[in-house]
Amino acid sequence: MHVSKLLPLAKKTLSVNILTSMNFTALIIGATGLTGTILRSQLLEDASYDKVVTLSRKQIQNTHPKHVNHLADLFDPITYMEYLKGDHLYICTGTTQAKTPDKKEYYRIEHDLPLEVATVAKANGVHKIIVVSAIGANPDSKISYNRGKGEMERDLEALGFKENYFVQPSLIGGKRDEKRPFESLWKKIQKLIDPLFFGSLKKYRTIEPETIASAMIYMAVHGYEKSRIESDELIEVGSRSSLSQ
């Protein structure tokens, strides 16, 4: 075959090899919560990822060939340091004040835990983090919940990852495995008043966990022009994800 005919074939092969070599390894903490569970499922079906590594206290029953689960105590880096190696770290951890009434323990879970895991990930060469935060996150807020989320964002950003994305959803829809009576009631009320939120208030409408997960994956794979993305914008980014597949 003439060399001129071989060149297009060689270029095509090279292109395929480059695309294959760009497949990523995802790392997830908080993979058993509402958003984390859906994120895990979406990542396993996403062709951009070759491997999805989850770290959890209890075994995650999932036999997908791309899924690797390691038991770990996220407060003890020795138990997960060797497993926290990949491209993108997804942080979906969190608790509630009802579940964790002690203020010090609450802050330890909400702030210290993701910061410590991210520090280990950075040392292991992970270059990108995608974090579930909350709308209104602000380290200078007078509201303790918003202040805690803001401090988490600030301190994670200070670690110096190549890219940081903090998704800031409003009330998250969907059903949780654990019982949260007040949240369940508020979700029903919120559904009724969502149509009243328009214009600059649209960001306070209920957002589904599937939308959050899709937006997180899109930003991790394709990048995004902003590091903090509120609820209404997450919906738009999430729709990009479905169009790009």
Within 10 angstroms of residue 219's Cβ, the number of other Cβ atoms is: 25
Give pLDDT, residue 179. Answer: 58
Per-residue pLDDT band for 226 (boundaries 50, 70, 90) equals very high
Give pLDDT, residue 195. Answer: 63
CA 56 to chain centroid, in Å, comes to: 15
Q: Which residues fall within 8 angstroms of residue 191, CB to CB, at 6 or more apart? A: 206
Where would I find the H helices in the chain? 3-21, 34-44, 103-107, 113-123, 144-157, 181-193, 209-222, 231-244
CB 93 within 8 A of CB 133: no
Global pTM value:
0.85
Residue with tokens 């835990």: 113
**Range in 121-135, 140-154, 201-215, 225-239 the model is least confident about:** 201-215
Map out the domains of the chain with their CATH numbers: 21-176+207-239 (3.40.50.720)
Q: Which residues fall within 8 angstroms of residue 152, CB to CB, at 6 or more apart? A: 110, 111, 114, 115, 131, 133, 137
Q: Which of 140, 105, 164, 132 is nearest to 148 (CA)?
A: 140
Q: Give whichever of 78-92, 168-182, 190-204 has the largest mean pLDDT.
A: 78-92
Give pLDDT, residue 197. Answer: 67
Q: Compute the mean pLDDT over every residue in the chain, rounded to the nearest whole number.
A: 86
Q: Could you give the CA distance from residue 70 to residue 55 in angstroms, rounded to a whole number?
A: 5
